[in-house]
Structure 1
Amino acid sequence: MESLMVSYIDLETDMVEGMRLNIASLLLQCENGNVDETHEHVQYTVNDMGEKIMSLLADLENSTLTEKKEELKLKQAVRNSCIRLHDELFHLHVSIPKEQDRLELSFIASKKSQEKIQQSETYLEEHDLKHVFNVNGKSKYFVQMPIDSHLCSITAICVLPEGQVLVADFSNKKVKQLDKQYQVVSHLGVTGYPNDICQITSSVVAVTVEDVSINPPEVQFITVNTSQLVPAEKFNLQHK
């Protein structure tokens, strides 16, 4: 928006300045005319100058300034739509934890969030706005533990409202809990390879577990304490 506004202003300034120079040139031609010219010829020169000035004004009116204005209006409309979608998602994000004890309302809010996220992604793709932020920096944190048999393979991450971070270590068949400094503070072995983690309540997550030796696959619930992961109930699925 800022870049477009600057280019619009620059273009407008250049075109107005160009028109001013053209008019000044026409006036100079009139002033330097031969004093012996007849009245009819002088009148023709004035009329011709007036027509040229009107032509310049028409060119300015029908110039790319109009296109720039329309482009600005479109960008402003897109910006407003992005702000609206963001606000709707934010309100849903705030409402979900408040309704966590009312499963029906929590479920509805979650589904609406998914719909809004899909709507937002579609909107951004249609307007070629997928890259709407810049990365100012990045940090790396290693969650490999000395007791791990294999190199970590993180397949999922889940952040709880209190700031605890859970990661699914696929290759080591573990769920690891990180503190706010992203250090491993606890871990829990699961019965198969964990594929994904989903928050259920403020302190309970569900983990999808799959292994060729497990038939069928499982969903394992885990209760998250301050620095401890406690296995809870689980159930089997008839599909991957």
Structure 2
Amino acid sequence: MQSLQVSYNKQLHEIGQTRQKINTILDEIENTTLKELEDKMTTLKASVNTNVDNCSKLQNELTRLRDTIHDIVDKGKAELSFIASKKCLEKINQSETYLKENLVQVESSLTFHVDSDFQQHLSKLSGLGRIVVCTCTQAVPLPGAPNKVLAVQGKSEYDVSIASDVKNRFDIRAICVLSNDQILVADYTNKRVKLLDHQYQVVGHCDLNAYQFDMCRITSSEVAVAVDVDQKNEVQFVSVNDGRLVKGRKLRFKHPCYGIAHNLQYLYLTSGTALYKYSMSGDLLIKLYENKSYPLTGNRMVDITFFFINNYKEFSYSIMIFTYSLKC
């Protein structure tokens, strides 16, 4: 109950933080719109003021010419009167032309057009997000036995070597269980995947000619193997067909492939320092995590399905299968 209350308080805080972020975004949008309004108003005012100044200037010039003509007529200077009349006509034509080009227009105004798409999108939202209930099953240790959740009930050791193995030792990097109790093991040293039956006997193998770093189950009859071929990073798909291992399609990547997992039709790969999410066709969807503080900060993804131990004794090829039970 205490952990539930803690998670409730945490999510309540997250909702408040989300609302604050949305408020900040809306404030920025409003300020941008207001600035656009002010800029357009300033531009229109400047244009109107320019027209007013030019009209005043033309009016003053026409007034001076009128007064000059009256003065010349009063003094009886016919020649000067003719010249002044010509200048006056030129200024009148100039004024009329300016008025036609600049003032014969519809009165300017400002109108705000609401972004209807934005409002409709907001109105369709049912909330700030979704509330998801996560149910986690946790083993609780017995009183008086702290940190002892798993107990070993038994151990079995099986030889998985075959005559064509080229090395005197092997390194099992991954193990997967398929349908009908078929088991696949990735033999890193001998560069091959081996098929075991329900008695843990080797009944088939597939040479990959590449070092295998990890392997994961894709379907009930197919696995994906992270391999290194001449420093080319690939994922090789291998399927079981009528008791035989068959190599399928291959994906190539720009980064090392040290760990691999499959979930909900997505591939997850580790490069040693980063965790990537890919589509099943090999398209990068997102880099989920990266830490370059050390060369192998994200070396492996752990799949708690089998616990195995590699036996490095010379000429001894074996795996150990441990049986575990929960102590609740």
TM-score range for the pair, normalised by the shorter chain length: 0.3 to 0.5
TM-score (norm 2): 0.34
Structure with higher helix content: 1
Structure with higher strand content: 2
Give the number of the structure with larger relative contact order, counting CA–CA contacts within 8 Å between residues 6 or more apart.
Answer: 2
Which structure would you say has the larger Rg? Answer: 2
